[in-house]
Structure 1
């Protein structure tokens, strides 16, 4: 049985980021994933400016290294299409210049981006990477920590500290940490890859469509390298159950019949199966640590409730988990009380954003307000610039919670 101080379960963005930050601190770790890389992960594939910032925190040269990958497509903004059909275009940087500026974000299939991070991990002698190893049992030891066993019950690892980053379906999250899926804070999603979608933005803006008949859900179209597109839908699980919605049927019908999409998809080719996945949303605070463990990324339910973005928040949690692990080893304290420092650090960084996104999610109940916002911004440069800044400045985004913002919007 392998013995280690720090074991990381799951080698996606959260786990790989944690391993890389620990390596920089000179702390060895064991990183385990049930898959063998490169492997696919069902996702929207968008990499926001927050992802780029987290790459820079790992190593200053990583953003440029990502940008040099042919599998990474630079993206300059978002098109929001309101229920009334108005297009609100929000650049990640106002008055951007694609030929000169460094891209704020990228779009890259998860099979490529996750492997990009794993290639960084492979270069670090401090990280021992186990691929193709599935763990099914987590037992506490009398001395503290855990023994991890495979499906046959064979003990494989004894660890003093677990960083749990094995995704939305984490058995550890449910059976040990006691976090249950809550339909009001959980999103059901579908993803498909298409080739030959017409009318894609020249600057690779991603598209979020909020159709009146599909609220409070949304449909996305994200450009990808090689003329492909990531196309999908997402909706709160509580709404899917309440309205008895067949997401696959609804998605295909919208692509075939909606006036904004049917011509664009008339000659498009579905090149992969339509796959489903769940998104545990960070729309309420949870306890994401305990005796000798921390929950990272999707395992800790940290996905943005409005945009569905999870990669950047996963990487942020990985960074703070590495910092907490270093303190635990230095103080030789792995207690739940000491581990609360991780919860505090993660929510100090993310909770304001998550709370605001929850409020924006609730705005979907008022499609007329969304229409008004999009209509005004399309004609008012100052308002458009303000909204653009909101996506980079959390304090400015707080205006969306203030009734006075909407009064000025409606009557000016």
Structure 2
């Protein structure tokens, strides 16, 4: 039996970030994961500018350290390809110069990025990292929680539990009451291919919205060493209603779509096609309670439009560390006191999550998507305005307004 004031369950980006921020505050914690790192995690592998900003908050030197590793590629933007085939290119930074500018985003396999964070964790004496321990039972006590692993060899008690063990967190379902709702959940597949042709020279990631696969999308993300992360995503609600076989559809698009058939002609599938679930942040939830906080995918914070989850996991991990410090200072671990954590997370994320939900719904109107992409592909000023919308939330509010589309259609 070990007692720790703070126990973090799950050492992915959310859990590792919480632990590192606690260490920066001089607060010890135990970080537990059932895997032994490095370990793979099914993901799109894209690291946005928000991830870079969160790395800076942990340590200003981390983005530079990441850029020096061989396991990443700098990425300068996103290509959105409409159902009619119009390409809307959204750079992460205006008038960027790859030769001189610091990249706003990266692409790195999760096995490498998560291990990059864990290497930072290993260097901190304030963090006790325990790998290969699968917690099977979490029980509420008068003073917090007791955690027991599958073998019953390890048992921990904690005053504060930070739950960061992913989309399939048993705690989130059973203790926190987070339900899996098909309209707020996305099913995804990921595969690694080698030698996909036609990848962007500046490593723009590609999101293809094909007319016979809406409201789902197909992605291609370039990776180091000639690899690409290739996958599909679709709302679970649609998968169920239309009885979509995602793997069959993904392979069909690769084999028969005119562009993909050509680009994948000399490509090789490396390993298996793997599936995963994405609990979307398209609905506000209660993400804390007596003696606990939910972080990242366990808190259902994935962006509904882009499917990005890493940055939001890191943001919630940072706020969990801030709240944990207050809890220790005031010796208050009650649900009412913990509500400040929920407020902080949603104050930072809800506006963009809500806007992404609106953008997700645009996929129900492919003709409108085609019109926007078509006009933007021919109008540099419009393309730059839409590009700004992805980084400026006030501008992005326009996407909710019918007048924005009326001007596009009739000007």
TM-score by structure 1 length? 0.99
CA distance in 1, matches of 2:337, 2:270: 49
Question: What is the aligned partner in structure 2 of residue 388 from structure 1?
Answer: 387
1:153 Cα deviation (Å)? 4.5
SS at match of 2:337: helix
CA distance in 2, matches of 1:152, 1:78: 46
Question: What is the aligned partner in structure 2 of residue 316 from structure 1?
Answer: 315
Q: Does 1:71 align with 2:62?
A: no
CA distance in 2, matches of 1:391, 1:231: 23
Question: What is the aligned partner in structure 2 of residue 112 from structure 1?
Answer: 112
Question: What is the aligned partner in structure 1 of residue 216 from structure 2?
Answer: 217
Checking the alignment, whether the CA contact within 8 Å between 1:9 and 1:33 is kept in structure 2 is: yes
Matches within 5 A, 1:279-358: 279-358=278-357
Please, which runs of 5 or more residues in structure 2 have no aligned partner? none
CA distance in 2, matches of 1:193, 1:392: 29
Question: What is the aligned partner in structure 2 of residue 150 from structure 1?
Answer: 149
**Aligned CA-pair RMSD:** 0.7
1:155 Cα deviation (Å)? 5.4
How many pairs are equivalent? 411
Question: What is the aligned partner in structure 2 of residue 36 from structure 1?
Answer: 36
Checking the alignment, whether the CA contact within 8 Å between 1:76 and 1:205 is kept in structure 2 is: yes
CA distance in 2, matches of 1:399, 1:379: 20
Matches within 5 A, 1:117-266: 117-142=117-142, 144-153=143-152, 156-266=155-265
Checking the alignment, whether the CA contact within 8 Å between 1:147 and 1:155 is kept in structure 2 is: no
Over residues 30-72 of structure 1, what are the superposed CA-to-partner deviations in whole Å (9 max), with x where a residue is unaligned? 0000000000000000000000000000000001111111101
Checking the alignment, whether the CA contact within 8 Å between 1:194 and 1:229 is kept in structure 2 is: yes
Question: What is the aligned partner in structure 2 of residue 24 from structure 1?
Answer: 24
CA distance in 2, matches of 1:291, 1:111: 33
Q: Does 1:275 align with 2:312?
A: no
1:314 Cα deviation (Å)? 0.2
SS at match of 1:262: helix
TM-score by structure 2 length? 0.99
CA distance in 2, matches of 1:218, 1:46: 16
Checking the alignment, whether the CA contact within 8 Å between 1:40 and 1:111 is kept in structure 2 is: yes
SS at match of 2:272: coil
SS at match of 1:321: helix
Checking the alignment, whether the CA contact within 8 Å between 1:137 and 1:153 is kept in structure 2 is: no
SS at match of 1:212: coil
SS at match of 2:305: coil
CA distance in 2, matches of 1:90, 1:175: 41
SS at match of 1:50: helix
Question: What is the aligned partner in structure 2 of residue 97 from structure 1?
Answer: 97
1:406 Cα deviation (Å)? 0.5
CA distance in 2, matches of 1:141, 1:196: 54
Question: What is the aligned partner in structure 2 of residue 84 from structure 1?
Answer: 84
1:151 Cα deviation (Å)? 2.1
Runs of 4 or more consecutive aligned structure 1 residues displaced over 4 Å after TM superposition: 152-155
CA distance in 2, matches of 1:86, 1:150: 52
SS at match of 1:36: coil
